[in-house]
Structure 1
Amino acid sequence: MNITFLLGNGFDIQCGLQTSYINFYEYILKKKYSLELFQEMDEKSVLKIDNMIYSEIYKSKDDIQTWADLEFQLGVFTRRLKEEKEDAITAERFLEDFEILREDLNEYLKGIQIQDDVEISEDFSEILSTTMDKFFYGVLEQEHDEIKSMLRENTNSHFNYQFISFNYTNSLQIVLKNSSKNSKGNSFNSSSYSQNFNRAIINVHGVIDRFLTLGLNDESQLASDFFEREDLNDLLKPDSLTNSREYRRRDAESVIEKSDIIVIFGMSIGSTDKHWWERIAEILLKNSNKKLIIHLYDTEPSYVSGRIVRLRREKKENEFLSHLGNLDLSDEKVSQLRKQIYIVTNSQYIINADLRKYLNPVEIKSGTIIDFETKDNKLSETAT
């Protein structure tokens, strides 16, 4: 049985890294322009921001809470540029400023991730073991029994766990590298087949210093005729992955194709990653026994009212389903997908490793990042 985790920026935040979009943009404003994100700025101050994308981000700051929001707003910005002044010089400047953003992000993340010379004194094997056994804990009682039954009935193969990371940092690599055990005895049934973690992470969007992939999902999300064809491909993440002449997209799609259970953790279900939501939906529709578990965070999750629980579940289901328009799904297919999607709120069991003591000190601004005071770190969806 193959169980695949898709990890987003929320995982890094859970580990203690200041990798939210807000963290990065506050850093850029302060370093490059000596400005504060939430200060009142006059027009003269805003004009100090000479990068057109950084300037546009500031003007749209109320609409941008996550990296997915930022990517979506890039497309909105290209449409506005197209309407205001359609010329190659403006398009070229946009591309140059976009590359500056990518380089700045690379340097920022390089400085805040765990450095190569840091000695790790922990063994994270127990954290991996907990993840293997409890990745679905937090679903509702009936759903828990359905998944547990599925796992118990797997008596003819190993449980193989694999990661597809959408992050650029080395946090996950650090945890896996410093785990003395990546396999354990079977906890789900009496068979002799074990539970095994595959240490080979698929960094689908690249890693620091190599192929940081940022952008839109398809041509409908930006002013496509504003750019030359080759440049347009560089702005579309699925095309960029293919054109990189590496196997990250192929390998990730292959792993998803073979997965029996797919677990999404720390990711915004945004439109700029629609390619992956479509691939997952296609896999689920081919086999109604396969499951998708989506983890979310709620600041004050209530279970008092069945209606509130239902609405919270349906909101996340609808978020996923809203990106499947290209599949032209019938009502029957949509109903099938809803039955295969399970929602977990505020899980503490997905690679819950506290890496703060291995990080370089970074200035913390009150109210702009998550406070990590306990081992059971919590992450905010607005910080992914």
Structure 2
Amino acid sequence: MNLTIIFGNGFDKNLGLNTTYPDFYSWLDENQKKESDEIYCNIKEKPENWSDLELALGKYTFDNEIMPDKFEESYENLIEDLNEYLLLEQGKLGTEFSIGDSITELFYSIEKNLVETGQNKNSQIIRRYLSQPTDVNFVTFNYTDTLEKTMGYKKFVVNKGVNQVLVKLHSPIHVHGTLNSSMVLGVNDETQFKSEIFDNEFPEFFVKNKNLTDHVNSTELDKALEVIFSSEVLFLFGVSLGDTDKVYWEKIAEWLLYGGDDHIVLLYDYETPMGSISKVVQRRMERSWNNTKDKFLKQSGLSSDDQKRISKQIFPLYGNGFFNIEEAQKN
């Protein structure tokens, strides 16, 4: 089996790092970074508007009379300061967590999670997949090197009943660049910012699709799409399913649609605690499943009929038992 795990910021948060945008803004404020900068001042005055930095940057160009040169300068300052802050957070990572150990636990906990939330049929399907030799690829939206630091051994055996499953881990693919190297920060497409006021060069870097396709991270994008399309199972962990990465959700929806029942998405809903999933009232339980699936389907770009077709290929997961440093420390 080819399993691809797509990590968002939830992975670093589970490792105990303060890597959210509000964390970054607090650091900016405490360190008095560029007090006269227009965007920095707006973040300080209206932090509620900046929960998603990338979307907020685009919206700021519509809602304010801006000078393009000043905006571009501020945008570049933000990237440099975000890089500095995340380097500090990255340096806090200890050695308590092993991604290999967590993958081993994953082979048991996914099936258990599906059973506990009433998805018995899905559990049987995933059991079949997880009984096969498995190549695990990682696609990460994070700039940090936390995955590399927790990688350790890259080949090991998982005992599944009477079977032994060989697992191979592959090096992570950083589609948005890494700290100190070509960080990609921006919007999904030109509808998400006031593109007409900028020169032709700025969108090449501010629009993620153009940046990833035309500049230094193009090979990483190609690698990411290649492993996604060669996978049988995708596990989306700690991703917000936000608009600024919409191109990926559309590609994954396409992969589900044309791959048929053989393609599965394990969708981890970190906002819904396990205890809120009813094990008694089937209607309430299925409503939870559908709410989780809808978060992805609304970003799919598919027609309503095609959304219904792929819905059965999306298996929701809940709780905090995945890639969790507190759980790792107990074992």
TM superposition score category, shorter chain reference: 0.7 to 0.9
Higher RCO (CA-CA < 8 Å; seq separation 6+): 1
Aligned equivalent of 1:165, options 127, 140, 154: 140
Aligned to 1:12: 12
Letter in structure 1 aligned against 2:305: E
The one of 251, 267, 270 equivalent to 1:294 is 267
Q: What residue identity is the alignment partner of 1:105?
A: L
* 1:46-195 equivalence runs, <5 A: 49-65=35-51, 69-81=52-64, 84=65, 90-114=67-91, 120=95, 125-135=100-110, 137-140=112-115, 143-152=119-128, 158-176=133-151, 179-180=152-153, 182-185=155-158, 187=160, 190=163, 194-195=166-167
Does residue 263 in structure 1 map to residue 240 in structure 2? no
Distance 1:323 1:189, change over 3 A: farther
Residue 288 of structure 1 deviates from its aligned partner by: 1.8
Amino acid at match of 1:54: Y
Give the aligned residue type for 1:75.
G
- The answer to whether the Cα contact below 8 Å between 1:173 and 1:201 also exists between their aligned partners in 2 is yes
* Counterpart secondary structure, 1:138: helix
SS at match of 1:100: helix
Query: Is 1:254 aligned to residue 226 of structure 2?
Result: yes
Name the % identity. 29
In structure 2, stretches of 5+ residues that fail to align are none
Q: 1:335 maps to which residue?
A: 308
> 1:8/1:137 Cα in 2 relative to 1: closer, same or farther (>3 Å)?
farther
C-alpha displacement at 1:228, in angstroms?
1.3
- SS of 2:160's equivalent in the other structure is coil
Give 1 or 2: higher helix fraction.
Answer: 2
Q: 1:232, CA displacement in angstroms?
A: 1.0
Is the CA contact (8 Å cut-off) linking 2:136 and 2:167 kept in structure 1?
yes
| Contact in 2 for aligned 1:136/1:293 (Cα 8 Å) | no
In 2 relative to 1, CA 272–170 (structure 1 residues): closer, same or farther, beyond 3 Å? same
After superposition, the C-alpha distances for 1:79-132 in whole angstroms (9 at most, x for unaligned) are 123xx36xxxx11110110000000010111112137xx984776643331124
Alignment pair present for 1:312 and 2:288: yes
Counterpart position of 1:206: 177
**Distance across 1 between alignment mates of 2:96 and 2:242:** 37
In the TM superposition, residue 338 of structure 1 has moved relative to its aligned partner by 1.2
Residue 280 of structure 1 deviates from its aligned partner by 0.2
Distance in 2 between residues matched to 1:3 and 1:144, nearest whole Å: 21
Name the count of aligned residue pairs: 324
Tell me if structure 1 keeps the 8 A contact 2:107–2:130.
no
Give the letter for the 2:210 counterpart.
D
**1:297-351: CA deviation from partner (whole Å, max 9, x where unpaired):** 23654234444433333233222122233x4x2x3311112111111111313x3
Q: Which residue of 2 aligns with 1:225?
A: 196
**Is 1:3 matched up with 2:41?**
no
Quick one: distance in 2 between partners of 1:208 and 1:287?
A: 35
Call closer, same or farther: CA 1:135–1:52 in 2, change over 3 Å.
farther
Find out whether 1:239 has 2:215 as its counterpart: no
- Deviation per CA, 1:52-85: give whole Å up to 9, x if none: 22223234422443xxx2211111111123xx36
The one-letter code matched in structure 2 to 1:93 is: K
Structure 1 pair 96/342, CA: closer, same or farther in 2 (3 Å)? Answer: same
When residues 201 and 130 of structure 1 are mapped into structure 2, their CA distance, relative to the original with a 3 A threshold, is same
One-letter amino acid of the counterpart of residue 235, structure 2: V
Conserved 8 A contact 2:154-2:168: no
Q: Following the alignment from structure 1 to structure 2, what is the Cα–Cα distance between the partners of residues 283 and 353?
A: 32
CA distance change for structure 1 residues 185 and 265 in 2, over 3 Å: closer, same or farther? closer
Normalised by the size of structure 2, how large is the TM-score? 0.87
TM-score (normalizing by structure 1): 0.76
What is the root-mean-square deviation of aligned Cα atoms in Å? 2.8
